[in-house]
Chains A and B, each alone.
Chain A
Amino acid sequence: MTTVPVLAAVHVRRSPDAAFRTFTERIGDWWPLRTHGVYGDQAAGLSIVDGQLVERSVGGETSVWGEVVRWEPPHRFACTWHPGRGDGVHTLIEVEFRPDEDGTRVELVHSGWEIYGDEAEQRRAPYEAPDAWNHVLGLFARADN
């Protein structure tokens, strides 16, 4: 079973180098960490450290969200994606930075959804969760166990 990836794109009126650096070096400044993190309001930051995407809590805990699998500044970046726990099951984020006439087109592909297959428990669960992000984290956490 294959599934169609999620595609997202945005135009940035900056060079690919600036866009690449904002995406990677400043990910903790633009990702909605308070609402979409592992530690919630205890989140202290999100950054790429030693080839891993890592969230830190104010208490000093860390949670690895993914591993960098491609690092080709300022053209492309890719990492596995498993916020919540372990990398037993993960999806994949690939980001391209393409120069255009007045800046950079940033194209993101989030693929690998087939790992969720037909697991019955997961099929309707997103609807039932009071908070979809927590459900997303739950998916990754369960899949890892």
Chain B
Amino acid sequence: MANVALAIAALGDPTRRAVFERLRDGPRAVGELADGLPVTRSAVSQHLRVLGEAGLVSQTRVGTRRLYRVQPDGLAALRAYFDELWGSALGAMRDLAEAGESDVEDG
């Protein structure tokens, strides 16, 4: 599942953003992505790994080629975003509730 916070962080790097932008035109292999970018193939591979961990890019094997593509599921990202947001917001709500005078016996 995509993680919007991770995704935003991943796209903060300009080269990584360039790699991602190139994938928006369609699935590509590492070599194709590296052509035209001022970085090595292994650097592109590294960027793809980070994009993959952020849920932005997936890979498939087609014959002997490994193709990378954009993960189109923005809905999942939006849900993931709220998942995280509600998790931290409810934590804050709990802290506030528990900071008040206790009305529950401890232990």
Contact = CB atoms under 8 A, between A and B. Distances in A.
B31 interface: no
A73 B94 CA distance: 17
B18 to A, nearest CB: 14
Contacts of A23: 93, 97
Q: Which of B11, B73, B98 has the most C-beta atoms of chain A within 10 angstroms of its own C-beta?
A: B98
B25 interface: no
A125 interface: yes
Contacts, number: 116
B54 to A, nearest CB: 8
A-B pairs, top 5 by smallest CB distance, nearest first, are A8-B86, A22-B97, A123-B74, A10-B90, A30-B93
A103 interface: yes
22 contacts: A8-B90, A12-B97, A13-B98, A14-B103, A15-B104, A18-B97, A22-B96, A23-B93, A30-B92, A30-B95, A36-B85, A102-B105, A108-B86, A116-B75, A116-B78, A122-B74, A122-B75, A123-B72, A126-B2, A126-B4, A127-B56, A127-B77
A139 B81 CA distance: 13
Nearest to A117: B75
A4 B1 CA distance: 13
A139 B4 CA distance: 15
Given A15-B103, A127-B74, A127-B77, 7 more contacts: A8-B86, A13-B102, A22-B96, A110-B86, A126-B77, A132-B5, A132-B8
Interface of A: 3-4, 6, 8-15, 17-19, 22-23, 26, 29-32, 36, 102-103, 106, 108, 110, 113, 116, 122-132, 136, 139
A94 to B, nearest CB: 12
Q: Is the interface of B mostly helix, strand, loop or mixed?
A: helix
A26 B97 CA distance: 9
Nearest to B93: A30
B104 A14 contact: yes
